[in-house]
Structure 1
Amino acid sequence: MSLNLFPICVSSFRHLSLLDISNNCLSSVPEDIVYLTSLTLLNVSKNCLVDITAICELSHLQSLDVTENKLTELPRSLWKLGRLKTFSCSFNEIICLPEEIGCLEVLTALRITNNKLSTLPRSFSNLTGLLLLQLDGNVFDHIPLQIFGCISLLELSLSHNIIEGSIPAKICSLVNLRTLNLAYNRVIDFPVELEKLESLEYLDISGNPVESSTISFGKLIQIQQLSASKCGLSFVPDDLTFNIISTLPLSICELNNLVVLELQFNKLSSLPEDFERLSNTLRQLDLGHNEFEVIPMSLFCRRSRLSYLCLDANPISEVPNEINNLKELTHLSISDCRRLKSLPEGLGSCTNLCTLEVSKNKLSSLPKTLSKLESLKYLNLSDNDFNHFPLVVCSIPRLRVLLYDQTEGRPLLPPECPDGWYQKSLLLYPEIKDSFDSEYEKFVLKSLCEILINNFPKENTHSLLQKIGFSDIMIESLEKQFPGGHNHIKRLKVAFEAWTGFTFEYENLGLNKKSRESYSGQQLSDSKDFNTSDILAQPDKKLLVQNQSLQSELCDTKESFSSNNKILKETNSNLYITSHRLLHIVHLIGLDQLHSKLMQYVLRAQQVRF
């Protein structure tokens, strides 16, 4: 509901101290408002007021907000608001301020942005207690001298005016100034006296046609954020984006409180030798779109506190393993570096990393240590040179967003499958061969089965062999047959009737009771279909078949999916969860049309795990 008229009943609230009637359609303030003698805060912003004379009778008012109305001037009776501390009248059409504004001696914050001011009254210099002054978006063609009388100022903002020429040397009289914003004016010169502002923490001179020879910020030792983008500089002391800087001066290393440094879109190829002196405070560094062929080692000192690092669009060919020193790094972007073919193992030590952007490179593989990035939620691998999908990403536990668009990169090629594996699957479950629409679907199911088998918890292997009738001697024999011990056995096929007489949960094998009964008594006599190189016989037990050609082909798959063992709790439901994750990978490869069919194959894949 929007109000068109001021509620008369409000004037009877004599003890009211706060009144907010913003965001209405009020065109005037009634005279009865003077009865609200206890009012200290009044917000009438975003209305249609053209006059606020009645408000000036509220002598106890400390905060007044008339932003976004239709005011063209302020009343001369403004002096009556002797207790006013904060006054906001931005986004109106005020052309000038009355002399009486100088009577507001306790005023600490004044916001008059986006009006039509071009001058200030002489009395303005009386506002010696003013701490914040925002005059952005007006039509000042110079910095009014009256401002320099406001000696307590902590923040002065004059961006988006038409200030021309040089900044007056008197600006150094504002010794307490911490924030100075002169962005998007027509300033070409800064006085050397600017260095006397030793308390300055934030300086923005972006969008000014500054002459680089006139700038020297090296003595602004408290500076934390400096922005001078789009100034057309060819040489400058600190962070300036969208310029043509090729060299940074040593003075930048003296900015001991610098937190944010943006140097993108320049021509930098190196950093000063003492750059690591900034490592104790520097949190954000953007070196994108420069000419670095080698990443400076000064970025990777052990005491670094960098949380954001951008190295996009540089001709770098490698990332130093010393990146493992950036323990506080949360965002890393190394995209569009066309010579970059690999990432270092040390990247896995950046355990606080949340976002990793490595698109548009020449990456063909990823380090296995990426599985240690427990905080990583966003990963962009688009447009690289991967031959096969990097399965290590499936081991990143908290990954939420994975971008893998190969519009410009190399298309994926199906990996080769070990000989004999598919024939085994057909023998155990003959009906599968009639369920496929294409050879590619066969490949997908085979890959899915491979991964399910590899994820059987290795610690259960010994007990499983005992349950199906292996003696200790036979287990020893298997250990000799399979290098690395029975925990690394990749394929062990057992006749289904060998399970008869043993009592254990069928779910442990990913095989439900119905499937067991269906296959009970089946003989694996047609061993030629297995491409078997060796058959082990056990006295008084059924045949045990193993395919020696499959001992080591899928080691990488097993290691890549080792983290899945944590969630694989030997239940069909958890097997389904793991399978669903694999189906999602298939979907990323581009097999959208197979997604629904593969959901039907999950159970079959479980049935041929052993």
Structure 2
Amino acid sequence: MDSRLEKLNVCVCTSSLDNVHFIGICGLGGIGKTTLAKAYYDWMSSQFEGCSFLTNIRGVCEKKENDLVYLQNLLSDILNGLPTKIRDIHKGMDMIRSKLCHKKVLVVLDDIDKLDQLKALAGKNNWFGSGSRIIVTTRDESLLLSTYMDCSIYRVEELCYSESFRLFSHKAFKSTHPSKEYEKLSEQVIAYTHGLPLALEVLGSFLCGKSVNQWESALDRLKEYPNKEITKVLQISFDGLEEIEKSIFLDIACFFNGFEKDNIIQIMDSCGFFPEIGIRVLIDKSLLHVDNDDKVWMHDLLQEMGKEIVRAKSRNEPGRCSRIWNYDDLCHVLEHNTGTKVEAIVCRFLEPKKLVCDFEAFSNMKKLRLLILQNLVLEMRDGQTLNIGNLSNELRFLRWHEFPAKYLPSNFQRGGLVELKLWLSKHLWNNAIKPLNNLKTIDISYSTNLRKFEDFGVVPNLEKLILVACVNLSEIHPSITLLERLAILNLKACNSLQNLPTSIGGLKSLNVLNLEGCVSLTDLPQDLGMATYLEQLILEDCRNLVEIPPSIGLLERLIILNLKACIRLQNLPTSMGSLKSLKVLNLEGCVSLTNLPEDLGLLNSLEELNLRGISVEDRDLPSSIALLENLKTLSCCGGRQWNNMMKIIVGKGLSSSAGLFSLKKLELVSCGLGNGAFPENLGCLVSLEQLNLSNNDFSHLPISFNKLSKLRHIDLSYCRDLELLGPELPHGLEWVGLSYCVSLDKFLDPLMKKICSLVCSATCVGCLKLATRQGSDRTAFTLLKAHLQNLPLKRFDILLPGNEIPSWFTRTSFEPSITLQLDPNWCNSKWMGLAVFLCALIPSPIFDCNVKIHERGHRFGLSNSYHRNVVSVVGSPADHLWLSYMPRNKIKAEWQSNNCNQLKFSFQTKDLDGETLTKKYIRSCGVRHFDQKTWMMMKHLHRFTLDRVVSVLCTSKT
């Protein structure tokens, strides 16, 4: 509670102390909004002239006549100290304003669910005196945002594991910890509640004093029947929704929890549910949230509630329920030919499942609008054929992997169908099918029997046509040009497709054309440039494509042009310079390409240019390349003839009024760059953040490197002649790659005995000379100390050859896991972070190592991936030391609790394919808890000999 109070107080104090400030405490039912508001009220009420806590406003308004007038009287009486007689809402508003406008008050309005409640009780800032704070708890955030211009929102989150553990233990055992025989059962209950305080309290109180057998029985029952007391509170928000929002909520609860938002919107939109506004309403009412990956989630208990609402309609006959999502219910409905109330079926199975049914299995599902089946094999009784023509006229969305019918039958007249996705099907339709005027999407990918696509006239409003990996598709019917609304045409990996209709340019709405992997395609239609709305043209791995039609210059809206691995492409049309909107040009692996258009620099919008593996020499690069003032990424690789590339980029950039001033990422890999390849004016690359110079020939870095003030990552791997790192590295550097720099033997200045400017993470796989001369233990310690001096709040990692156990680690193990015991008050001390090490055999240059840190069921991870795109393995497998430091500010706040007194660290290594290597590859591991005392001792060490490090650190307590 303390951490939540502090966060709430930050929200309360965001406005000036003299201003009236409104604060919303928002979250789903049972999350602890009222508890938090009451705790804050008790904590801060003494600082105000008057205080009022109006509890359960929603409940009061449901039960009382003249509910708002009653609440206005209550608010006025409490704050004014005198009885009042308010009989009219509008007069009440005036009276509250007149009595309180000169008072500094603290008002809590608990459980607001309607706009008129806010307007009647706390309508405007000028109702209250200077410095007043008005706190509103609600499930519906939109009420606050639509009422107050300036309102801070505090969204209450679920309890973390340790908080849940404490609350549940208090309710179930009247103690801080369960007895041993109840530990596993307690963990199951806590996992079920997913951090919802209401559920923890209800279930804890219910299970208190009951036997182990009774606990087990109760948990089994919860899987089928959610607790009514919990459901009752959660369902209040659902009951207040409009019918269309209820439908969206139930669809997400039963089918789509955790799906990408765009995917859900597409499905819901096909059903006519107006999902953009519907999902927004559900988010505002704390019933959904969207994560950083744009996936839509609801709390596990809300999902259970949604499913229970559906099941409750008919427990014994699933055909009378609106939605079906499990195999047993689907079997019942199809075998008994029921389903009169079924609106949606979504059944996805990881492995194929068989189901025997009648050919009229879907005939009674007159309300079916949504049908998604995956890995379901239907077998008809008596060798019959499934009558797909009997599917509901209400059907809007059909996804059926391995569709059982050879064709959509002629009686398939589903005029309302919006999306048709039939992966692994045989054919689509014959010429007898009736028009599907509302169909917007067809996806019949991976249908290997599909050889040609028939008349497109039956789908006049089609917007997306997706035919990925239809490997025997040899032609596209010319009638495709009738599709005036077609925006996406995806023909990826259609290996047999030799050409496109010559009139493809007639697709006036075409936005994306994906021909990746069409290996038989030799040319493109000459009128391609007439498709003027085209934004993405994907031609990657079109190995037999020889030329690009000159009309491409007419594609003024083209943003992405991907020609990667077009190995027979010899030149680009001169009209390329007319692509004013082009942002990405990928020419990687175009090995036959010997020149680039002179007007390449006219691509004013270009942000990413990939020239890896092309055959153009640096002297033949167009001089205009330096005019690409918006270029952010430039990649070059594999041409030893490009040894002047750095001078060309920088030199030409400075000689013009423009330049590569926006460049953030530069890759010059295997370009033959020597010591003289770097100009003195490198500092003109003012935006450069990432620099990859792998596999080049220089032995040292020039002093001009320290002018790259924004550089954060530099990769020098496989620079076999690189001998040392000196003071040339920029101070803001966060990571340097040094793997297989076999000549590198020192980080330290041999005369001054001090660290170079390397205070960042480093990857030094295969640097055996470095480890032999300086010792992996000493090097790791030295770099960590420098890091803590300069960047104590940032993550640090180093990987380098060696197998010695760092003696300054006080907890070590020869197994792949280790446990660290913590002092009772460890989180109150001035601890800085956690350091771990791992000694392991690295079998190849492509290798992952990570550590998972566990605390009573939760975990967070440190991980490093060392991937280098190289053909050969340099040297034999060798032992390496990985040291990783995680500062305190990078560790989740809920872990920093005195309730946590033990951490378990488990280590894992993986190979190129992501397979976990056996523990024989792990030699040893260790962990150290860094506190202020340890750091002060390290800080005053002037010499870094290992003996002194060990003698000092071993005297400090862990």
TM class, shorter-length = 0.5 to 0.7
- 329, 334, 337: which is aligned to 2:671? 337
Aligned equivalents of 2:404, 2:324: Cα separation in 1: 24
- 315, 333, 342: which is aligned to 1:29? 333
Aligned residue for 2:354, secondary structure, equals coil
Residue number in structure 1 paired with 2:368: 61
Aligned-partner residue type, residue 250 of structure 1:
T
- CA gap of 1:54–1:154, structure 2 versus 1, over 3 A, is same
Aligned residue for 1:289, secondary structure, equals coil
2:785–2:939 contact (8 Å) kept in structure 1: no
Aligned-partner residue type, residue 363 of structure 1:
F
CA-to-aligned-CA distance 1:432-470 (integer Å, 9 cap, x gap): xxxxxx99569x9999999999x999xxxxxxxxxxxxx
Residue number in structure 2 paired with 1:231: 543
2:399–2:421 contact (8 Å) kept in structure 1: yes
Residue number in structure 1 paired with 2:463: 154
Aligned equivalents of 1:19, 1:253: Cα separation in 2: 55
- CA gap of 1:35–1:210, structure 2 versus 1, over 3 A, is closer
Aligned equivalents of 2:638, 2:941: Cα separation in 1: 38
CA-to-aligned-CA distance 1:329-376 (integer Å, 9 cap, x gap): 554432122246545667666676664332112233446556756573
Residue number in structure 2 paired with 1:542: none
Aligned-partner residue type, residue 325 of structure 2:
D
Q: How does 1:52-91 map to 2 (within 5 A)?
A: 53-71=360-378, 75-76=386-387, 78-91=389-402
- 356, 364, 368: which is aligned to 2:691? 356
2:446–2:470 contact (8 Å) kept in structure 1: yes
Aligned residue for 1:334, secondary structure, equals strand
2:435–2:457 contact (8 Å) kept in structure 1: no
1:105 CA displacement: 0.7
- Using the TM superposition, name which of 286-295 and 229-238 deviates more: 229-238
Residue number in structure 2 paired with 1:273: 598
- CA gap of 1:406–1:62, structure 2 versus 1, over 3 A, is same
- CA gap of 1:42–1:441, structure 2 versus 1, over 3 A, is closer
Aligned equivalents of 2:415, 2:501: Cα separation in 1: 30
Residue number in structure 2 paired with 1:219: 530
Aligned residue for 1:172, secondary structure, equals helix
Aligned-partner residue type, residue 347 of structure 2:
V
- 512, 531, 542: which is aligned to 1:202? 512
Aligned equivalents of 1:120, 1:451: Cα separation in 2: 67
- CA gap of 1:393–1:146, structure 2 versus 1, over 3 A, is same
Q: How does 1:469-488 map to 2 (within 5 A)?
A: none
Percent of aligned pairs sharing the same letter: 18
Residue number in structure 1 paired with 2:503: 193
1:385–1:410 contact (8 Å) kept in structure 2: yes
2:337–2:363 contact (8 Å) kept in structure 1: no
CA-to-aligned-CA distance 1:291-350 (integer Å, 9 cap, x gap): 23225454443542x444321213312221239955655544321222465456676666
Matched, 1:395 2:728: no
Aligned residue for 2:411, secondary structure, equals helix
- CA gap of 1:185–1:220, structure 2 versus 1, over 3 A, is same
Aligned equivalents of 1:134, 1:345: Cα separation in 2: 55
Aligned equivalents of 2:607, 2:387: Cα separation in 1: 49
Q: How does 1:44-123 map to 2 (within 5 A)?
A: 44-46=347-349, 47-49=353-355, 51=357, 53-71=360-378, 75-76=386-387, 78-91=389-402, 94-101=405-412, 103-115=413-425, 117-123=426-432
Aligned equivalents of 1:285, 1:363: Cα separation in 2: 25
- 552, 558, 573: which is aligned to 2:935? 573
1:148 CA displacement: 4.0
Aligned equivalents of 2:334, 2:628: Cα separation in 1: 66
- CA gap of 1:381–1:129, structure 2 versus 1, over 3 A, is same
Aligned equivalents of 1:574, 1:372: Cα separation in 2: 32
Residue number in structure 2 paired with 1:486: none
- Gaps spanning 5+ residues in structure 2: where? 1-219, 225-310, 550-560, 755-770, 791-931, 954-958
1:379 CA displacement: 3.5
1:158 CA displacement: 1.8
2:701–2:725 contact (8 Å) kept in structure 1: no
1:390 CA displacement: 4.8
Aligned equivalents of 1:194, 1:223: Cα separation in 2: 11
Scaled by the length of structure 2, the TM-score of the pair is 0.40
2:597–2:622 contact (8 Å) kept in structure 1: no
Q: How does 1:404-553 map to 2 (within 5 A)?
A: 404-406=738-740, 410-412=743-745, 417-418=750-751
Residue number in structure 1 paired with 2:563: 240
CA RMSD of the aligned region, Å? 4.8
Aligned residue for 2:576, secondary structure, equals helix
1:140 CA displacement: 4.5
1:417 CA displacement: 4.0
Aligned equivalents of 1:414, 1:71: Cα separation in 2: 67
2:461–2:483 contact (8 Å) kept in structure 1: yes
- CA gap of 1:167–1:43, structure 2 versus 1, over 3 A, is closer
Aligned equivalents of 2:691, 2:468: Cα separation in 1: 35
Residue number in structure 1 paired with 2:809: none
1:66 CA displacement: 0.9
- 451, 460, 480: which is aligned to 1:171? 480
1:202 CA displacement: 1.8
1:180 CA displacement: 1.2
Structure having the higher strand fraction is 2
- Gaps spanning 5+ residues in structure 1: where? 423-437, 458-569, 584-593, 604-610
Residue number in structure 2 paired with 1:562: none
2:745–2:774 contact (8 Å) kept in structure 1: no
Aligned residue for 1:69, secondary structure, equals strand
| Bigger Cα Rg | 1
CA-to-aligned-CA distance 1:547-606 (integer Å, 9 cap, x gap): xxxxxxxxxxxxxxxxxxxxxxx99937947999x99xxxxxxxxxx9x55844999xxx
1:259 CA displacement: 4.4
1:269–1:291 contact (8 Å) kept in structure 2: yes
Aligned equivalents of 2:387, 2:745: Cα separation in 1: 75
- CA gap of 1:415–1:271, structure 2 versus 1, over 3 A, is same
1:110 CA displacement: 0.8
CA-to-aligned-CA distance 1:389-413 (integer Å, 9 cap, x gap): 25544733443xx321226x64447
Aligned-partner residue type, residue 385 of structure 1:
D
- 249, 252, 255: which is aligned to 2:576? 252
- CA gap of 1:330–1:92, structure 2 versus 1, over 3 A, is farther
Aligned residue for 1:105, secondary structure, equals coil
The aligned length equals 451
1:224–1:260 contact (8 Å) kept in structure 2: no
Residue number in structure 2 paired with 1:312: 637
1:200–1:223 contact (8 Å) kept in structure 2: yes
Aligned residue for 1:99, secondary structure, equals coil
Aligned equivalents of 2:316, 2:779: Cα separation in 1: 80
Aligned-partner residue type, residue 429 of structure 2:
L
Residue number in structure 1 paired with 2:110: none
- CA gap of 1:450–1:182, structure 2 versus 1, over 3 A, is closer
Residue number in structure 2 paired with 1:552: none
Aligned equivalents of 1:388, 1:212: Cα separation in 2: 51
Aligned equivalents of 1:285, 1:192: Cα separation in 2: 30
1:414 CA displacement: 8.3
